[in-house]
């Protein structure tokens, strides 16, 4: 994600279809501090739903090397 600021123009871009509200608020605040009219910002509707809160990697096979360091 990034915030792109140009003369009189601001965009908040994210590679994924979901941007955490806290992160979005921080980026909007930064744009506001730099003098941009954030009232003109609008979110583009996304077709994919945001991820579930408890979603995470369900496959722990990639962590075998950490377990080997700990002797487990």
What does the pLDDT look like over 22-44, one tens digit per residue? 988 998 998 888 888 888 888 88
* Average pLDDT of span 51-65: 58
Beta strands in the chain (DSSP E): 2-6, 9-13
C-alpha to C-alpha distance for 29 and 24, rounded to whole angstroms: 9
Query: 63: closest CA among 54, 55, 72?
Result: 72
**Among the listed ranges 12-16, 19-23, 47-51, which one has the minimum average pLDDT value?**
47-51
Give phi and psi for 6, each to the nearest 5.
-130, 175
Whether 68 shows a pLDDT value over 60: the answer reads: no
């Amino acid at each position: 994600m990034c915030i792109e600021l140009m003369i009189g123009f601001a965009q908040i871009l994210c590679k994924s279809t979901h941007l955490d509200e806290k992160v979005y608020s921080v980026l909007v605040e930064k744009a506001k501090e730099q003098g941009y009219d954030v009232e003109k910002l609008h979110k583009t509707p996304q077709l994919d739903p945001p991820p579930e809160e408890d979603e995470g990697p369900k496959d722990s096979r990639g962590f075998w090397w950490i377990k080997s360091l700990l002797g487990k």
